[in-house]
């Protein structure tokens, strides 16, 4: 499984992904699930992926191909799409085609291969937008009321987001919220694993503000995790 | 859906169930999911249910019938079973038979009807034990390492249990832990709903210590829920 979360806030966007993939519990690997398409100052698109690695890798490869070699690709480039809505429609189309293609093959083995994606982005002159694309290619969008989207193993980490995140949340608090949301998920589900990819984008800059990989032995993350455990236990004691 | 949690602690057992059932999102009802078979001082068996109401009601009815009218029932009475292990085997057998019977009918409609159960109990002279019975009738048992079991919508409320509950946890803290675990679940999933059934059993008493129904407007529960929200937000602020 996977846990990815994306936040659309007034101040900017925050993305956090784990990196664990597994084919059965005894075949675990580390793969990046956070991808950036960027023309700094002009356009930024961040894609997070969950599901069958064969599907997600192929989709990202086809999106890159459409961007880098437009003549060779049947799809338009997401970096040239006139709007973010058109951009997510292209991703949805590629995802739908790849899923259908791979599913046709694995169906014969009575298996299924699906994937979903979170896509956030902004083009110069437009508003930042955040989408969740389903395996079928259709999608939903984050709103003021629900300023975050999750894919993968989303339930363990949802309570903290529900309690803390609003569009007014600062980027600093948002980073903390997604890391604590991930921390709860890591504790409760083995199929989600370190390292983590964290990326932030400031509104109207159309470029990555900060991107970092948090390794399993990261001191700051461990400290936050311990402090949170301690604070939770103290909260638990204080409540009657 | 449903959320039920059972705890096996040194001091005793704690059971908490919600009461929401739904056939589609527009057909919501309240049904008890916590059942007690008791011969005070001699034997206590508590059963919590999740899944198809037609399955769980039939299983409970057949268990009652076997107890009250042994001659009419093909099953032995769980109140007469020589051990808790034999008791849970009987429940597993009834659950398996009822599931197979009902599934055969609904299969024709391409539907499925399954259920799972948490069963805790103690007989005089034996140890308290806590089991989770799967739809197929097989089961697992709570241990020192994992002193709690959950059925239904279990993920939202798992992090707090993972952090707080050990066999040494007091019954008072355990009640608080299961209520906060339920609180997180209620907030994040509409298919789990008030009122709640809370029941505690002291070790070696073989009888219900306390059983209560917590209604939606219960002042103490609301106060705990608010205090927990406040404490969580303060914890969130305090962590860096």
Instruction: Tell me what pLDDT residue A188 has.
Output: 84
Name the minimum distance, in Å, from the CA of A91 to any CA of chain B: 29
Across the interface, which of A153, A156, A235 has its CB nearest the CB of B235?
A235
pLDDT score of B62 more than 70: yes
- Which are the contacts of B144, defined by CB distance < 8 A and separation ≥ 6? B167
Question: A164-186: per-residue pLDDT in tens?
Answer: 999 999 999 999 999 999 999 99
Say which residue the tokens 């995790």 belong to.
Answer: A225
Instruction: Tell me what pLDDT residue B190 has.
Output: 81
Instruction: Tell me what pLDDT residue B25 has.
Output: 65
Q: Are A185 and A192 in contact (CB under 8 A)?
A: yes
Question: A80-121: per-residue pLDDT in tens?
Answer: 999 999 999 999 999 999 999 888 887 776 667 889 999 999
pTM to 2 decimal places: 0.85
> Could you tell me which residue, B86 or A26, shows the higher pLDDT?
B86
> Could you tell me which residue, A41 or A188, shows the higher pLDDT?
A41
* Beta strand A20-22 pairing with A12-17: unpaired
Q: Give the mutation candidate from A159, A166, A172 for the B interface (greatest B CB count, under 10 A).
A: A159
CB B227 to CB A234 under 8 A?
A: no
> Could you tell me which residue, B23 or B177, shows the higher pLDDT?
B177
Give percent of chain A above pLDDT 70. 97
Instruction: Tell me what pLDDT residue B187 has.
Output: 87
Joined together, the tokens standing for residue B154 give 């279990």
Instruction: Tell me what pLDDT residue A224 has.
Output: 95
For residues A87 and A142, give the distance between their C-alpha atoms in angstroms, rounded to a whole number. Answer: 15
Helix ranges (H only) for chain A are: 53-68, 84-107, 158-164, 171-188, 219-238
For residues A108 and A89, give the distance between their C-alpha atoms in angstroms, rounded to a whole number. Answer: 29
| A8 CA to centre of own chain | 12
Of the candidates A138, A129, A71, the one whose C-alpha atom is nearest the C-alpha of residue A99 is A138
Lowest mean pLDDT among A53-57, A129-133, B40-44, B110-114: B110-114
Mean pLDDT of chain B: 92
| B228 CA to centre of own chain | 23
Question: A35-51: per-residue pLDDT in tens?
Answer: 999 999 999 999 999 99
**Where does the pLDDT of residue B109 fall: very low under 50, low under 70, confident under 90, or very high at 90 and above?**
low
Measured between beta carbons, the chain B residues lying within 8 angstroms of A152 are none
Q: B3-238 has which fold?
A: 3.60.20
Lowest mean pLDDT among A84-98, A213-227, B99-113: B99-113
Of the candidates B124, B119, B16, the one whose C-alpha atom is nearest the C-alpha of residue B63 is B119
Q: Closest residue of B to A225, CA-based?
A: B239
CB A228 to CB B235 under 8 A?
A: yes
Q: Are B118 and B131 in contact (CB under 8 A)?
A: yes
Is the CB of A156 inside 8 Å of chain B's CB atoms? yes
For residues A159 and B216, give the distance between their C-alpha atoms in angstroms, rounded to a whole number. Answer: 20
Measured between beta carbons, the chain B residues lying within 8 angstroms of A235 are 228, 231-232, 234-235
Q: Give the mutation candidate from B161, B163, B179, B182 for the A interface (greatest A CB count, under 10 A).
A: B163
For residues B30 and B193, give the distance between their C-alpha atoms in angstroms, rounded to a whole number. Answer: 8
Instruction: Tell me what pLDDT residue B2 has.
Output: 92
Quick one: CA torsion of A100, A101, A104, A107, rounded to 10 degrees? -80
pLDDT score of B185 more than 80: yes
Give percent of chain B above pLDDT 90. 78
Of the candidates A42, A60, A46, the one whose C-alpha atom is nearest the C-alpha of residue A14 is A46
pLDDT score of A21 more than 90: no
For residues A232 and A219, give the distance between their C-alpha atoms in angstroms, rounded to a whole number. Answer: 20
Instruction: Tell me what pLDDT residue A109 has.
Output: 67
User: Does an H or E element contain A141, and which?
Assistant: strand A139-141
Which neighbouring-strand residues pair with B39?
Answer: B43
**B145 phi/psi in degrees, rounded to 5:** -70, -35
Joined together, the tokens standing for residue B224 give 């705990």
Which neighbouring-strand residues pair with A156?
Answer: none
Mean pLDDT of chain A: 92
CB A160 to CB B224 under 8 A?
A: no
- Which are the contacts of A104, defined by CB distance < 8 A and separation ≥ 6? none
**B77 phi/psi in degrees, rounded to 5:** -75, 135
Q: Closest residue of B to A226, CA-based?
A: B239
Q: Are A71 and A26 in contact (CB under 8 A)?
A: no
Name the minimum distance, in Å, from the CA of B231 to any CA of chain A: 5
Of the candidates A93, A103, A100, A47, the one whose C-alpha atom is nearest the C-alpha of residue A73 is A93
CB B188 to CB A162 under 8 A?
A: yes
Question: A145-169: per-residue pLDDT in tens?
Answer: 899 999 999 999 998 998 899 999 9
Query: Domain boundaries in chain B?
Result: 3-238
Contact map slice: A 136-155 vs B, CB within 8 A? 153, 155
- Which are the contacts of A220, defined by CB distance < 8 A and separation ≥ 6? none
How does DSSP assign A155-177, residue by residue? STTHHHHHHH--TT--HHHHHHH
Is the CB of B222 inside 8 Å of chain A's CB atoms? no
Instruction: Tell me what pLDDT residue B204 has.
Output: 97
> Could you tell me which residue, A192 or A201, shows the higher pLDDT?
A201
- Which stretches does DSSP call E strand in chain B? 3-8, 12-17, 20-22, 28-30, 34-39, 43-51, 115-123, 129-133, 139-141, 148-152, 196-202, 208-214
For residues B235 and B240, give the distance between their C-alpha atoms in angstroms, rounded to a whole number. Answer: 10
How many residues does the structure list for chain B? Answer: 240
What sign does the CA torsion over A41, A150, A177, A227 have?
negative
**Where does the pLDDT of residue A22 fall: very low under 50, low under 70, confident under 90, or very high at 90 and above?**
confident
For residues A148 and A144, give the distance between their C-alpha atoms in angstroms, rounded to a whole number. Answer: 9
Measured between beta carbons, the chain B residues lying within 8 angstroms of A236 are 160, 163-164, 173, 176-177, 180, 231
């Amino acid at each position: 499984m996977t846990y990815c979360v994306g936040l659309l806030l007034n101040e900017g966007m925050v993305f956090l992904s784990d990196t664990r993939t597994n084919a059965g519990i005894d075949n675990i690997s580390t793969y990046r699930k956070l991808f950036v398409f960027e023309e700094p100052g002009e356009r930024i698109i961040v894609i997070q992926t969950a599901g069958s690695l064969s599907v997600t890798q192929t989709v990202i490869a086809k999106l890159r191909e459409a961007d880098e070699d437009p003549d060779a690709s049947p799809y338009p480039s997401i970096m040239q799409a006139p709007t973010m809505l058109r951009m997510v429609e292209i991703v949805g189309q590629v995802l739908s085609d790849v899923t259908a293609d791979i599913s046709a093959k694995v169906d014969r083995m009575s298996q299924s291969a699906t994937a979903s994606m979170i896509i956030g982005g902004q083009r110069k002159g437009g508003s930042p937008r955040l989408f969740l694309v389903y395996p079928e290619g259709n999608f939903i969008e984050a709103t003021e009321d629900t300023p975050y989207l999750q894919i993968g193993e989303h339930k363990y980490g949802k309570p903290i987001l529900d309690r803390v995140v609003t569009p007014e949340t600062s980027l600093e608090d948002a980073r903390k919220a997604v890391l604590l949301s991930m921390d709860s998920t890591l504790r409760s589900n083995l199929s989600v694993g370190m390292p983590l990819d964290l990326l932030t984008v400031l509104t109207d800059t159309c470029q990555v503000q900060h991107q970092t990989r948090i390794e399993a032995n990261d001191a700051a993350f461990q400290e936050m995790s311990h402090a949170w455990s301690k604070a939770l236990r103290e909260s638990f004691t204080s409540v009657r």
